[in-house]
Structure formats: C-alpha cells, structure tokens
Chain A
Amino acid sequence: MSADKYEVIIIGGGPSGLAAAYKLAQAGVEVVLVERGDYCGSKNLSGGVFYTRVLDQLIPGFWEEAPVERYITNYVTTLMDKEDYFNLDYKGQALSKAPYNAFSVLRAKFDRWLAEKAEDAGVMLANGIKVEKVLKEGNKVTGIVAGDEEMLADVVIAADGINSFIAQEAGLRGPIKLEHLAVGAKALIELPRETIEERFRLTGNEGTAYAMLGEASHGVAGGAFLYTNLDSLSIGVVLRLDDLVKAGVKPAEVLDDLLEHPMVAPLVKDGKMVEYGAHLTAEGGLHMVPQQLVADGFIMVGDAAGFTINSGLVIRGMDLAVGSGIAAAEAIIEAKEKNDFSAASLNSYKRRLDESFVMKDLKTYAKAPIFMENDRLYKSYSKLANDIFGKVYNHDLTPKELLLKTALKALKENNLSIFDLARDGFKGVRAL
C-alpha cells in the first residue's frame, strides 16, 4: 500500500493552521489541512476579541467580506464585588476607523469563512477526519495517521490547539502545568441589535469588551468577559485550573451567578441563551512555550505552541496564532527552496517569530503570568476598590474622613497593608 504524499499537512483548522495554509497555498505549495470537526470552526470557541491587524496583512480588507461581528471601540474593566462594582470605561474614536484594531468574532462562523478563503487559494480541506498520530522515521516526522490511512508530507504542522495531543506525541511538549491553564465557560445570548446598541451606547457596528475581575469569577484566579456581537452577547468566566480545583466551585454556577449580578443582569435582560460552550486557554505566556518549536519535518503553531498573552486588561491568542501561522509558512517556503526540511532548516521559523510581534510581545509580557499568580488580585482588590468608593459616596451623617484615611481604613478591613498595595502596584506596572 502506498500512502499519498503531499508537501505540507496541517493538523487543525483554527486561525494558526488556516493562516499557514492560506500563505502556503498562495506561494504555490501543495497543502492538505485535516480538521476533525464537520467544518473548520465547529470545534472552536473563544471569548472572543480578535486583534486583527495581522490578518489584514494576510488578507487586506478582510472585514469587508469576513463574518466579523463588531469592531471594538469601548473597553470596560470591572472590579466586581458581590453586589457592587467599579468600572474603568474607555472609548477611543481611532478604534472605529479602518483597518480597525479588533473585532468580536464567533469562531464557528469566522473560522469557517477563513477555511473557505484558504480553499479558494488552493488548500485541500479534509474535514471530519481526526489525526491519531504522526508518522516518524527516527526523529523525523514523515506524515500522519488518520483512521486506517497514512498520509506522507515533507512537513507536518501541528495546529491542533491547546490540548495538542500531536505536539505531545511528537515529544515536543510535556503535560501542561495546571497554573498555566484556565477553563472558559461561555454562554451566547441573543438580543435584538437595537437593544444591544442602546444598552451599550454603541453607534452602528461599534462594540464593547468588558474584562471583569473579583467576584465575577467568585474570587478564583482568572476573571470574566462580556463582548458585544451584532445581535448577541458573548459572556463567560475564565478560571485558572489550579485555583478552580482549590476553590471547588463549578464553572457553570459561577457563570449563572455572573448573569444575575446587578451589573450584568440589566445588560442581558430578556436575552435568550442559544449556545453554551467551554474551552481551555493558556495562561502561562512565554513560560509555557516549549524550548523547541520545530523538529525534522515538524512545526508547532498557535495554541499548540502555547502562544497566548494575558496582560490583565487584554487577552490575546488569535492574533498570535495568525502571526505564528504566517511565520511557519514563510519558513517552509524557504526550506522548500533549499529542499531541506530538517529541524535546522525549519528553525528559521523561530527567527521569524523572534523578529515579529509574536515573540516580542510574549517577551514583553513574560513577567505577567507570575504577577498574576498573586491571589490578592482576584480575592482582595475588587472588594477594596468598592469599599473605598462606597465610603466616598456614602453620606450617612457620620463625620466624613479624607480620602487617604478612608483608603487606609479600607485596606485594614480587607487585611491588606499599604506595603502589599505598593509592592503589587510596582510589580504590576513593571509586568503588565
């Protein structure tokens, strides 16, 4: 039996795999993309705000045809207590101008569209096929096994997401530490378009992204999000696995409580839940990126390689996925010119990543995950902020105190010291 041979096989149809596929096909490379879902996007779920400038480089003016939801112009950071909340609310007019900074997207629709673009560019899509493992000759990856079939390739790209069985199987990634993973549980809530625009003070296709801390996640390390789509809201909780295990709370219950919180309830009022999903996300930043990103005949991209950044205010993954997919494609195009698909040759991928925003930003935020292991961020500071503002605005005829004294008292009541605050503040501005 002779197995079919292709130049490149890509495992997984998310933004990293599809970006690589598109770029390779454009350069005339023969590419097969194998996706286990019925269609690309059917297994994919994210918050999701997509910082799309890198996609505009790959597909200029993509938003004119892509099923994007809203361009995000409003960013709200919420420090949430049990009933109270404190919002930092930013709106930037520049964010509403083409080529746009970020869009809310729904991945089942968006990734499916990107797959169609890739197919138009010449990529062969093989949907509904699960790759069992990679084929190896010594240390060299020579192809894949799917069911009874074997397929050979000069290069296999692992774009199979955060659980990346393939990267583990190829020996490039071990089990991921619990503190480097978080589970997101998300509800999609339908509301009329006009209702969304009124409630969130949006004009046309403008959109809002909320990042919520504190009680939003029941104090579990992580947080919550609320993003506006055209005629639905994406709302979810993100819970770091080590702390989720410790807290013993159930993700769906944390989400239910969030939906009933006095800040959220009026925003989702009369909404209709139409889908409930969950997905793992990487929280380790640069710390969980494997030392080796390539092997002979093998490259890892996107979530499979651990490319995500959580800077506290902004959570990124899809842009890094596309950036890494493009870098992988460029490395393979160069390797093809030399007809050398060894790890040494494919390692120009690493250099390309280092020179691009992907690795530069991962390095910039390298300290963020360690900073964010600090429990006070999730369990103390949201309550502290609400306690201070509660005292500032409350006039119950007890004599008022100046802000400094009010703040010091609130610190004490929350078992915090001014030194904790100063130290965390100092570390925070250096890490984020």
Chain B
Amino acid sequence: MIKLSIPEKLALNKFEVNEGNPHIIIDNTKCQSCQPKSCLTVCPAELYSEQNGEIIVEWAGCLECGTCRAVCPQGAISWEYPAGGFGIIYRQG
C-alpha cells in the first residue's frame, strides 16, 4: 500500500474551515517553562510545531479528538469544538 504523509492523509478528509476563527488558542507564556512539550508529538494530525521558540497550531486540519487539551500539563491550550457546522466532516467515521 502506498504510504501517505500527514498532509496527504488530511487531504483525504472533508473540512469546513471557519476562516479567521481558530478553535484552538495557545497561551505561549505558559509554554516557555514546559519541558515535555507533548503537543508536538501526541496530535494524530501533527498540527503542532515550534517556530522561533513559539508553539503554533495549524488548527484548520484538526480532527477534533481533544488529545492536545488533555495532555497539556500547563493548561496552555484553550481548545473547544469549532462553531456549529464547521470543522471536520467525517464521511465514513
């Protein structure tokens, strides 16, 4: 079977993106002292990255599992479901 990268995997899905209204907001002041920075590894969609010492999230590709919010030891990730009708739309599930 052909191996797909993460962007290729996410491109299989249907998303209704709520442009300009992120449903995940990171308080980077809390990330400075965070050692494990588990958000960088646990996200199944690998949306988290560190750029210039700041954690950023490509929230548009969120699969809405909630793993990042659960593991964040600092409570730095403010994560809620996207507004009604937006976000991932599973066609198979």
* Inter-chain contact B93/A280, CB cutoff 8 Å: no
A249 interface residue per 8 A CB criterion = yes
* Inter-chain contact A43/B90, CB cutoff 8 Å: yes
* Inter-chain contact A44/B93, CB cutoff 8 Å: yes
Give chain B's interface residue range (CB within 8 Å of chain A).
35 or more
Give chain A's interface residue range (CB within 8 Å of chain B).
35 or more
* Inter-chain contact B3/A146, CB cutoff 8 Å: no
* Inter-chain contact A111/B81, CB cutoff 8 Å: no
A333 interface residue per 8 A CB criterion = no
Q: A45-B90, A276-B10, A276-B13 are in contact. Are A185 and B81 (CB under 8 A)?
A: no
A218 interface residue per 8 A CB criterion = no
Main secondary structure of the interface of B (DSSP, over half): loop
* Inter-chain contact A245/B71, CB cutoff 8 Å: yes
* Inter-chain contact A41/B90, CB cutoff 8 Å: yes
Give per-residue flags for B61-93: 1 if the beta carbon is below 8 A from chain A beta carbons, else 0: 001111101110000000011111101111111
* Inter-chain contact A274/B92, CB cutoff 8 Å: yes
* Inter-chain contact B90/A275, CB cutoff 8 Å: yes
B36 interface residue per 8 A CB criterion = yes
* Inter-chain contact B64/A43, CB cutoff 8 Å: yes
B16 interface residue per 8 A CB criterion = yes
B21 interface residue per 8 A CB criterion = no
A263 interface residue per 8 A CB criterion = no
Give per-residue flags for A17-49: 1 if the beta carbon is below 8 A from chain B beta carbons, else 0: 000000000000000000011100111111010
Give 11 pairs: A residue, B residue, CB < 8 Å, sorted on A: A42-B91, A43-B64, A146-B84, A163-B66, A181-B67, A241-B42, A244-B71, A250-B41, A274-B12, A276-B4, A280-B70
Q: Which residues of A contact B (CB under 8 A)?
A: 36-38, 41-46, 48, 106-111, 127-130, 146-147, 162-163, 165, 175-176, 178, 181, 183, 185, 187-189, 232, 241, 244-245, 248-252, 256, 259-260, 265, 268-271, 273-280
